[in-house]
Structure 1
Amino acid sequence: MGLNIENLSGGYAGNSVLKNISLAVADGEIVALIGLNGAGKSTTINHVIGELHPKQGTITLNDVQLSAEPTVFKSQIAYIPEQPILYDELTLGEHLHLMLAAHEMDNSTAWNRALALLKTFRLEDKLHWLPIHFSKGMRQKVMLVSAFMLDAPLLIVDEPFLGLDTLAQKAVTNLLRQQAKAGRSVLMTTHLLTSAAQFVDKFIVLHEGHVYFEGSPKALAKKYGLAMTQLDDFFDLIQGAGIDEIK
């Protein structure tokens, strides 16, 4: 089943961004939305998490339609935004307990999973710290722990490697692979295509609110005449390109 977006059009007040797009993220699949700034990646994510209401189209996750059953739909999602969102007055431990309680999962099994993730990201001794003491990278790690500990059917990650050191980037890659291996779906955005090509199943190129390509990393490289090690050059290739040139 997984995530299915069909004929979605929408955007912000007075600004139509997405134009009749359709895409899917199957169970056990890792899909990366890619494109230049303003292509519609974040707008797509904001529609999926229910922050924006579509002008037309449907969004379904495991046979649950967002418009019909929003609470049930959203309960299946773990979301990691590009910019970490933390409460200044809550410690790291309180943040995690609050997240688990919100998903009715504040039990020993889930907490042990959270502790294991804290150790992975070298935060196990920071449970009593307040966000004011966290660096940008540490804040991002808190968001990663908060999401991965939920074992949600759909994980949405906006730029997962932003602000992370090399060890944390490797940990995230391994965790994403584990999510997919367990049969869960992953939808992400990234500008690091060469790195992402090592573990994503599919790239979806958005350009001016349209889907212009959908396929494997190898297929993307072949279509645009790039070596697999040159995929990061993709954005330079399409920068300023006309519609006909990127189809």
Structure 2
Amino acid sequence: MIKIEGLSKHYGNKVGLKKLDLTIKSGEIFAFLGPNGAGKTTTIKMMVGLLRPTTGTITICDKDIIKETIAAKKYLAYVPDQPYLYDKLTGREFLEFVALMYKIPLQVATEKIEKLTALFSSYEYVDRLTENYSHGMKQRIVFSAALIHDPQVLVVDEPMVGLDPKSAAIVKNVFKDQAAKGTTVFVSTHSLDVAEQIADRIAIIKHGEIIALGTLEELRKRVQKEARLEDIFLELTEEEQPN
């Protein structure tokens, strides 16, 4: 699970995030939505240990990401919005490298790579150099790498960018399967249809603060109408026009 308490981030006089409190349970798919510049990526980078908070704590499966970074990251997987691979490795070699970092025995790693290659339909190119991959191919390999150590928390930033419909369907099914196994899935996305389809709970952030949090039905009650998530999001994040 993920527990965030009093989390804030300041950049000099600019406040990127204001006193965020969140608890996300095991087996929950949690969608984190907001306009550009709202604080989504700042939150994610602090959650995965890439950015130090100004105040507050983040625990991943009861491990403090700042004080117990290595221990916390054993439970964690992160898929960024831009997939980065080593150009001179094949997809398989990259997955073997990631498995080695997590100290997964070779035979177990080989079996997992075969299963993930089948899951993401990447047989056709997994043994080619990644420098020749399309964005979608890279994204499938990065997702495979994220799942290779059976994480208990999966954090994903913009998972559908550059994916064709087949790949997007695979990713949505992966989220559901992981949650069914008890994995906490934290997804930041601009794809509101995806969030509406898969999320158990949704948070909407604006100017570094959560302005709405709950199930889709709870958000509908907030705006007092039976609306799609897109309409709810636009209504809640609309900026007031000056007189």
TM-score, with normalisation over the residues of structure 2?
A: 0.92
Structure 2, unaligned runs of 5 or more = none
Structure 1, unaligned runs of 5 or more = none
Equivalent position of 2:24 in the other structure? 25
Counterpart amino acid of residue 181 in structure 2? A
Cα contact 1:191–1:232 (8 A) shared by 2: no
Equivalent position of 2:235 in the other structure? 237
Please state how far the C-alpha of 1:214 moved relative to its aligned partner. Answer: 1.0
Moved more, 106-115 or 19-28: 106-115
Counterpart amino acid of residue 20 in structure 1? K
Alignment coverage as a number of residue pairs: 241
Indicate how the Cα distance of structure 1 residues 67 and 121 shifts in structure 2: closer, same or farther if over 3 A, else same.
closer
User: What does 1:67-86 correspond to in 2, within 5 Å?
Assistant: 67-86=66-85
Counterpart amino acid of residue 169 in structure 1? A
Q: Deviations over 1:20-73 (max 9, x none)?
A: 111111111111110101111100000011111111111111211122211111
Counterpart amino acid of residue 84 in structure 1? P
Q: Does 1:216 align with 2:215?
A: yes
Query: What percentage of residue pairs aligned between the two structures are identical?
Result: 33
Counterpart amino acid of residue 63 in structure 1? D
Please state how far the C-alpha of 1:226 moved relative to its aligned partner. Answer: 5.6
Equivalent position of 2:9 in the other structure? 10
Counterpart amino acid of residue 233 in structure 1? D
TM-score, with normalisation over the residues of structure 1?
A: 0.90
Indicate how the Cα distance of structure 1 residues 19 and 136 shifts in structure 2: closer, same or farther if over 3 A, else same.
same
Indicate how the Cα distance of structure 1 residues 13 and 150 shifts in structure 2: closer, same or farther if over 3 A, else same.
farther
Equivalent position of 2:147 in the other structure? 148
Indicate how the Cα distance of structure 1 residues 208 and 113 shifts in structure 2: closer, same or farther if over 3 A, else same.
same
Cα contact 2:9–2:54 (8 A) shared by 1: yes
Indicate how the Cα distance of structure 1 residues 169 and 226 shifts in structure 2: closer, same or farther if over 3 A, else same.
farther
Indicate how the Cα distance of structure 1 residues 233 and 121 shifts in structure 2: closer, same or farther if over 3 A, else same.
same
Counterpart amino acid of residue 24 in structure 2? V
In structure 1, C-alpha distance between the alignment counterparts of 2:18 and 2:28, rounded to whole Å: 24
Please state how far the C-alpha of 1:171 moved relative to its aligned partner. Answer: 1.1
Indicate how the Cα distance of structure 1 residues 101 and 203 shifts in structure 2: closer, same or farther if over 3 A, else same.
same
Secondary structure at 2:231 match in 1: helix
Counterpart amino acid of residue 231 in structure 1? L
Counterpart amino acid of residue 89 in structure 1? K
In structure 2, C-alpha distance between the alignment counterparts of 1:76 and 1:11, rounded to whole Å: 27
Indicate how the Cα distance of structure 1 residues 38 and 182 shifts in structure 2: closer, same or farther if over 3 A, else same.
same
In structure 2, C-alpha distance between the alignment counterparts of 1:195 and 1:182, rounded to whole Å: 20
Q: CA RMSD in A?
A: 1.9
User: What does 1:88-99 correspond to in 2, within 5 Å?
Assistant: 88-99=87-98
Q: Does 1:187 align with 2:182?
A: no
Indicate how the Cα distance of structure 1 residues 134 and 226 shifts in structure 2: closer, same or farther if over 3 A, else same.
farther
Cα contact 2:88–2:131 (8 A) shared by 1: no
Counterpart amino acid of residue 176 in structure 1? F
